[in-house]
Structure 1
Amino acid sequence: MRPAPASRPTVVVTRKLPGPVEDRLEREFATRLNRDDHPFTAPELQEALRGADALLPTVTDRITTEELSVEPLRARILANFGVGYNHIDVHAAKARGLVVTNTPEVLTDDTADDAVMLMLMVARRAGEAERHVRSRQWTGWRPTHMLGTRVSGKTLGLVGMGRIARAVATRAHCGFGMRVVFHDPYPPPPALAAELGAEQQSSLDAVLREADFVSLHCPATPETRHLIDTERLALMKPTAFLINTARGDIVDEAALVAALKEQRIAGAALDVYEREPQVTPDLLTMENVVLLPHLGSATQETRVAMGLRAFENLQAFFSGAPPRDRVV
């Protein structure tokens, strides 16, 4: 890469991004790319905060008070790649004068598709069945072989009713004729809920009691950490399934393992984990659990769109305009 003019802002990109995004960043900024795609260490993040005008971080970067305490602090903006930003201490960032942005909206449909895919996979035992065929255990069709659970016409419970949950509600209600119930402390207008075919419940507990499938769509905050714990899992039907495409620490994984072992719920389908990329070992051995490696927004189209949204936030900031997706 040719040296960039000194007048251009320096941007450190912490992970490898799709080619069109990196090309756009390099044309506009003095961009430092992570060509070998290694996760940044805390010292590397601190060095980037000292030496660059901006960081473009991802969910794998833990930007805490410690990282943000560096001196001198040159960075002025953290243009996060992703809608969730619980890996960034936004209060510490704000205290140090940093702007934080995210990339909402562009990943809604793909993440909703991911949640529906997980629901179908766990209900119809798709992961287990695929492993069965690959291991050459399949001996042929028979009437009672690997029976799953019907999805169509069942009740889907949504925890949270933001953009992604609304997209899931549309797919479930219109595509599968499901009854959709939800709880959100900040619910959508009743007319919108009715348009989605969704019924607001008085509490989270009511959703858990009603649903055949519980899908999590709330942000990760101190208040939602371990929101789904032993007591909440006990409210679910023994025939119900838990789906998580939100954030891993919303679920107490130890409590989930216990509920699965004791057959207090029928199964789980997870795209995110409490200590990701580490997965609780017991989950790896369970056939009634579907495990994906955080693929919610993982399509070429959406990852490019996310990168360009982060680019647009950087471009606005350095041109003196308000970034479209400012968080703090």
Structure 2
Amino acid sequence: MHAVFLDKQTFSSSIDFNAIEREVTKLSCYNMTQTEQVIERCLDAEIIITNKVLLTNEVLKQLPKLKLICIAATGTNNVDINAAKSLNIAVTNVSGYAGTSVAQYVFAQILSYYQQIEHHNNNTALGLWSSSETFCYHGNAIAELAGKSLGIVGYGNLGQAVEQIAKAFQMRVLISERPNAKSIRANRLSFEQVVQQADILSLHCPQTPDTEKVINEEVLKQMKASAMLINTARGALIDNNALLLALQSKQIAFAALDVLEQEPPPANHLLLNTNLSNLKVTAHIAWASSEAQQRLINLLAKNITSFKSGTVLNRVDLET
């Protein structure tokens, strides 16, 4: 089977694609592909691998040889699933590959903030320790994580991986129920309770109509003034204008964002031009440890193997 990888550049150059190559007769890779280039590049393809390239109904109906779409991510909003169904094209995604990587990122941000490593390193580089009258130079306060409350919004693989590390630090973990839920499941608190009690609020939920701008002006006002907000999920979960105002006014203490609502973002994006010391933004890399990227590629290969053998694995087109 001929497979075409439309956006290989979304992976690091060091990642090994041999697992996929072993499952296909030919693998054609393109660093990036615009929507208008898909048909030309995939006319002879039986398998398309895409991370973020859009596959619309208009595109899919012009690819008669196509049998399988492998989405190289968990999210599926870049593929018209209903159109694929109607054309008898199978669609798979991948999940469970990035829990360790995302949890490590979350705690890297938490530890950086609470331990103030960069600040204290700078103090030493500036000679403040050498000129100190005492054996240590204190600078910004350091706070322990033990006893702090970590609120988790989205309790799937990623949220659970974060919880596991939090417990090792003796933190109090608060699992949020879905926003606006009518009932609260066992071992969870309402979204409002979690927002109000959390010292750190970490977002891991999918983007849906119910979660878009779930972190808005009203919610930010309910958070502790000392709270830290971390978003490794989707940028659209946050109302950017409301967050900017909350950070400027010190309504909340700190925000660490790995995602924005448009990626890549425009250079003049609201949150990229703030000069705020209480905001850090990284380029959607929480998921992207070398190990997680390799796991993802290997999972894609397994999806192809299963499809060829007639077994069902990660088929999103069969979900109801």
* 3-state SS in 2 of match to 1:75: coil
Residue type at the aligned position of 1:87: N
| Equivalent residues of 2:3, 2:49 under 8 A apart | no
Equivalent of residue 293 in structure 1, options 283, 289, 293: 283
Hey, which bits of structure 1, 4+ residues long, moved more than 6 A?
186-189
1:114 aligns with 2:105: yes
Q: Which residue of 1 aligns with 2:22?
A: 27
* 3-state SS in 1 of match to 2:17: helix
263 and 85 in structure 1: CA distance in 2 versus 1, 3 angstrom threshold: same
- Alpha-carbon distance between aligned partners in 1 of 2:291 and 2:34, rounded to the nearest angstrom: 29
1:212 aligns with 2:199: yes
* 3-state SS in 1 of match to 2:151: strand
How far did 1:126 drift?
4.6
Aligned length: 302
* 3-state SS in 1 of match to 2:256: strand
28 and 216 in structure 1: CA distance in 2 versus 1, 3 angstrom threshold: same
| Equivalent residues of 2:6, 2:33 under 8 A apart | no
Residue type at the aligned position of 1:62: L
1:60-75 correspondence runs (5 A): 60-65=52-57, 67-68=59-60, 70-75=61-66
Residue type at the aligned position of 2:126: W
1:125-274 correspondence runs (5 A): 125-126=116-117, 132=122, 138-141=126-129, 143-173=137-167, 175-185=168-178, 190=186, 199-201=187-189, 203-274=190-261
Identity of aligned residues (%): 28
TM-score by length of 2: 0.83
1:70-85 correspondence runs (5 A): 70-85=61-76
Q: 289-298 or 119-128: which moved more? A: 119-128
| Equivalent residues of 1:181, 1:207 under 8 A apart | yes
* 3-state SS in 2 of match to 1:242: strand
* 3-state SS in 2 of match to 1:298: coil
176 and 57 in structure 1: CA distance in 2 versus 1, 3 angstrom threshold: same
* 3-state SS in 1 of match to 2:97: coil
TM-score by length of 1: 0.81
| Equivalent residues of 1:122, 1:289 under 8 A apart | no
Q: For 1:139-193, what per-residue CA distance to the aligned partner results, in whole angstroms no more than 9, with x for missing partners?
A: 42364523354422200001011111111111101x2111111113499985xxx
Residue type at the aligned position of 2:243: L
| Equivalent residues of 1:64, 1:88 under 8 A apart | yes
Residue type at the aligned position of 2:164: T
- Alpha-carbon distance between aligned partners in 2 of 1:235 and 1:215, rounded to the nearest angstrom: 15
| Equivalent residues of 1:215, 1:243 under 8 A apart | yes
